[in-house]
């Protein structure tokens, strides 16, 4: 059985004798979309970590005599309706969202991976019933489920992390499950069973290392959606709570002012959100591309 793909495969094998990982990193570095995304993300992470030390003005207490001032040399992004410097608020606003979203993602990934491994490996009744429940949960969009849960549990950063994390788990589980299903067909799983390995070992020591690439891709994509969801929830009042300078919250507090022409109270926060989500997704896309090749 011979195809030009095979001739090319031989050509590629020559490359794989060097470290494959090194090749992938080089490929990533050459992708300008990945690098652009990485720079944006690193910038905002920096703001989240060091922002409060470096901002020119106090993001929480405004000068009530200087409300709704247009952007100028004193206030690069202008001031909002409480006289707070918008620039400082935008910088510090990165902190909450970059705490809540990654935590939720990590929670979701861990839960989801475990769930996916178990349902994918055992199949049968366990898998069927869990899949039904997952389908039911996923019939509703996250925002709405989150709404319902947060009405019941009360809204705080912790509950938001838990709600989003728990909701992400089935989505991650689905991806992990399908990856596990295809791994399971491979003979090394049978070989492990024929050695007398128990299920726990097979799932975590044999199968898991091979499904890490899709898990990695999925979790970076989930991070993008986590940021998306936290921002949206903050916008409708069920996310990050005042007095945080969080961007979604700031937009919800000020968007009525657009009509009056006070665009700066909203525009910069909106762009900050946009840049962060796009950045994260460019990174996710880059990773996916590198792992596929």
Partner 1 sequence: MTMTDQTSIASTGPAAAADALVIRDLDLAYRVRGKDRQVLRGVSLRIGRGEAYGLVGESGCGKSTAALAAVRYLPRNGRVRSGSILVDGRDLFKLGGADLRHLRANTVSMVYQDPGRALNPSIRVGRQVAEIFVLKGMPQAEAFRRAAEMLRRVQIADPTSVMERYPHQLSGGMQQRVAIAMALSINPRLLILDEPTTGLDATVEAEVLDLVAKLRGEYETSVLFISHNLAVIARMCDRVGVLYAGTLVEEGTTAEVFANPRHPYTVGLLRCLPRRGRRKDHGRLDTIPGFLPTPGAVIPGCVFAERCGLATDRCHQEAPPLHDLGGRSSRCHYHEKASELPRTTPPDLSAQAVVSREGQPVLRVEKLNKSFGTAQHLVQALRDVSLELWPGETLGLVGESGSGKTTFARVLMGLTGPDAGATLELDGKPLAGRVKERTNEALKSLQIVFQNPDSALNRSHTIRRLIDRSLRKLTNLPSAARLDRLIALTRAVRLADRYLAARPRQLSGGLKQRVAIARAFAGDPRIVVCDEPTSALDVSVQAAILNLLAELQSERKVSYVFISHDLGTVRYLSDRIAVLYLGRLMEIGPAERVFSGPHHPYTEALLSAVPTIDGTAPERVRLKGEIPSAINPPSGCVFHTRCPRQLGEVCRSQEPPLLPGAEPGHFIRCHIPVTGLAVDRRELKSAQGAAE
Partner 2 sequence: MSFSGLLLKRLLLSVVTLWLLSLIVFAGAQLLPGDVGRAILGPLADARAVANLNHQLGADRPLVVQYLDWIGHFVIGDMSMSYTFRSPVAPFIINAMLNSLKLAAVAFALVVPLGIGGGVWAALHVGRPLDRLISVIGLSATVLPEFVTGIVLIMIFGVWLDWLPITATAPADADPLTQIYYLLLPSLPLVFVLFGYIARMARAGTIEALDADYTRTAVLKGLPRRTVLWRHVLRNALLPTITVIATQMGYLIGGLVVVEVLFHYEGIGSLIYIAARGKDFPMLEAGILSIGIVYTFATLAADLLYSALNPRIRFGAVE
Binding residue (CB under 8 A) for partner 1 from 71, 197, 275, 291 = 197
Kindly give, in sequence order, each residue whose CB lies less than 8 Å from that of residue 220, ignoring residues fewer than 6 positions away: 280, 283, 284, 287, 288
Output 172 or 189, the one with its CB closest to partner 2: 172
Output 120 or 279, the one with its CB closest to partner 2: 279
Mark the segment that binds partner 1 (CB under 8 A) among 94-102, 119-127, 184-192, 240-248: 184-192
The site for partner 2 (CB under 8 A) is made up of 33, 132-133, 135-145, 147-149, 151-153, 224-225, 228, 231-232, 235-238, 248, 251-252, 255, 258-259, 261, 263, 266-267, 270, 273-274, 277-278, 280-282, 285
Minimum CB separation from partner 1 for residue 36, in Å?
22
Distances (CA, A) of 77 to 70, 82, 207, 231: 7, 14, 51, 20
**Total residues in contact with partner 1, by rule CB under 8 A:** 31
Binding residue (CB under 8 A) for partner 1 from 135, 193, 258, 274 = 193
Output 208 or 278, the one with its CB closest to partner 2: 278
Give SS3 for 274: helix
Output 149 or 203, the one with its CB closest to partner 1: 203
Show contacts with partner 1 in window 60-79 (CB under 8 A).
none
Minimum CB separation from partner 2 for residue 232, in Å?
5
Per-residue H/E/C for 173-225: HHHHHHHHHHHHCCHHHHHHHCCCCCHHHHHHHHHHHHHHHHHHHHHHHHHHH
Q: Does 15 bind partner 1 (CB under 8 A)?
A: yes
Q: Does 32 bind partner 1 (CB under 8 A)?
A: no
* Residue 226 near residue 164 (C-beta atoms within 8 A): yes
What is the separation, in whole angstroms, between the first and last Cα of the chain? Answer: 23
Show contacts with partner 1 in window 228-287 (CB under 8 A).
none
Which is nearest to 271 in space by CA: 263, 262, 259, 260?
A: 263
Q: Does 125 bind partner 1 (CB under 8 A)?
A: no
Residue 256 DSSP one-character state:
G
* Residue 155 near residue 230 (C-beta atoms within 8 A): no
* Residue 172 near residue 116 (C-beta atoms within 8 A): yes
Binding at 34: pick from partner 1, partner 2, none (beta carbon under 5-8 Å per type):
none
Furthest C-alpha separation in the chain: 80
Q: Does 21 bind partner 1 (CB under 8 A)?
A: no
Q: Does 25 bind partner 1 (CB under 8 A)?
A: no
Output 3 or 259, the one with its CB closest to partner 1: 3
Please, what is the Cα angle at 172 between 167 and 176, to 5 degrees?
Answer: 150
Q: Is the peptide bond before 30 cis (omega within 30 degrees of 0)?
A: no
* Residue 240 near residue 103 (C-beta atoms within 8 A): no
Minimum CB separation from partner 2 for residue 136, in Å?
4
Minimum CB separation from partner 2 for residue 251, in Å?
7
Binding at 1: pick from partner 2, partner 1, none (beta carbon under 5-8 Å per type):
partner 1
């Amino acid at each position: 059985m011979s195809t030009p793909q095979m001739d090319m495969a031989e050509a590629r094998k020559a490359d794989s004798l060097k470290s494959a990982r090194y090749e992938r990193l080089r490929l990533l570095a050459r992708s300008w979309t990945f690098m652009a995304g990485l720079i944006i993300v690193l910038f905002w992470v920096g703001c989240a970590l060091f922002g409060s030390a470096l901002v020119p003005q106090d993001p929480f207490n405004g000068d009530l005599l200087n409300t709704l001032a247009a952007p100028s040399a004193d206030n690069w992004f202008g001031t909002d309706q409480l006289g707070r410097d918008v620039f400082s608020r935008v910088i510090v606003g990165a902190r909450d969202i970059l705490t809540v979203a990654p935590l939720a993602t990590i929670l979701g990934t861990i839960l989801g991976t475990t769930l996916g491994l178990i349902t994918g490996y055992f199949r049968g009744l366990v898998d069927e019933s869990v899949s039904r429940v997952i389908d039911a949960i996923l019939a509703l969009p996250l925002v709405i489920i989150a709404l319902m849960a947060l009405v019941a549990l009360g809204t705080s950063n912790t509950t938001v992390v838990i709600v989003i994390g728990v909701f992400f788990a089935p989505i991650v589980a689905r991806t992990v499950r399908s990856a596990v299903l295809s791994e399971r067909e491979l003979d090394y799983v049978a070989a492990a069973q024929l050695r007398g390995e128990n299920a726990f070992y097979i799932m975590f020591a044999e199968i898991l290392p091979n499904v890490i690439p899709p898990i990695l891709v999925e979790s970076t994509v989930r991070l993008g959606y986590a940021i998306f969801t936290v921002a949206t929830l903050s916008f409708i009042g069920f996310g990050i709570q005042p007095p945080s300078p969080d961007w979604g919250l700031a937009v919800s507090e000020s968007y009525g002012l657009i009509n009056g022409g006070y665009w700066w109270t909203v525009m910069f926060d909106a762009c900050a959100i946009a840049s962060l989500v796009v950045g994260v997704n460019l990174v996710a896309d880059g990773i996916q591309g590198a792992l596929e090749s």
